[in-house]
């Protein structure tokens, strides 16, 4: 019984470590997806502020990816698994910092007050009946 418990806890620990490694990739994917949605809003409206939001989201996603991988590499080094190359994620960090900088610069020049108005106009492009049908189908 005790050996089975140890085996189960070891399996759980291994799963959690793999989950943590996948978290870096999934957070990057989520941020880049949100960035793509913001770019689609820019394409539909022509509002350059959405492009700024997209750049900021993409930059933050790259930063999160770099930070989580750096932390995991350091932990692996402390456990003496391997001697990681910390510089392999520096290009991702550089792209993230540049994208976030340009996004913040663009947003500071254009302002963000009109984003809500533009987003409301975007929401009116999709009929309310379509949204309610999709929402109802999720819960039926």
pLDDT (tens digit, 9 = 90+) per residue, 95-124?
A: 889 999 988 888 888 777 777 777 676 666
Q: State how far the alpha carbon of 114 is from the alpha carbons of 18, 49, 91, 103, 128, in Å.
A: 43, 9, 34, 16, 22
Which residues have a Cβ under 8 Å from the Cβ of 40 and sit 6 or more positions away? none
Q: Is residue 5 part of a domain?
A: no
Q: What is the mean pLDDT of residues 136-140?
A: 61
Does the global pTM surpass 0.75? Answer: no
Mean pLDDT on 74-99 = 80
Q: Is residue 95 part of a domain?
A: yes
Please check whether residue 129 lies inside any domain of the structure: yes
pLDDT at residue number 88 = 80
Domain span at 85: 37-134
pLDDT for res 130? 58
- Examine residue 88 and state whether it is found in any structural domain, yes or no: yes
Of 3-7, 26-30, 65-69, 106-110, least confident by mean pLDDT is: 3-7
Residue 63 within a domain: yes
Q: Comparing C-alpha atoms, which of 92, 91, 73 is closest to residue 82?
A: 73
Task: Tell me the CB-side half-sphere exposure of residue 41, using CA atoms within 13 A.
Answer: 25
- Answer yes or no: is 72 within a domain: yes
- Residue 115 domain flag: yes
> Per the structure, how many domains does the chain have?
1
Q: Is the Cβ–Cβ distance between 100 and 56 less than 8 Å?
A: yes
pLDDT score of 116:
72
Question: How many angstroms separate the CA atoms of 32 and 115, rounded?
Answer: 20
Whether 65 is covered by a domain: the verdict is yes
């Amino acid at each position: 019984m005790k050996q089975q418990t140890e085996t189960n806890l070891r399996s759980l620990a291994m799963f959690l470590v793999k989950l943590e490694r996948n978290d870096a990739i999934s957070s990057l994917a989520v941020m880049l997806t949100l960035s793509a949605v913001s770019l689609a809003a820019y394409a539909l409206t022509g509002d350059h502020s959405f492009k700024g939001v997209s750049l900021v989201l993409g930059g933050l996603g790259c930063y999160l990816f770099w930070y989580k991988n750096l932390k995991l590499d350091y932990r692996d080094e402390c456990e003496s698994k391997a001697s990681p190359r910390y510089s392999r994620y520096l290009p991702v960090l550089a792209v993230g910092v540049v994208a976030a900088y340009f996004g913040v610069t663009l947003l500071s020049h254009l302002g963000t007050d009109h984003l809500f108005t533009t987003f409301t106009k975007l929401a009116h492009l999709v009929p309310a009946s379509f949204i309610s049908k999709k929402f109802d189908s999720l819960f039926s």
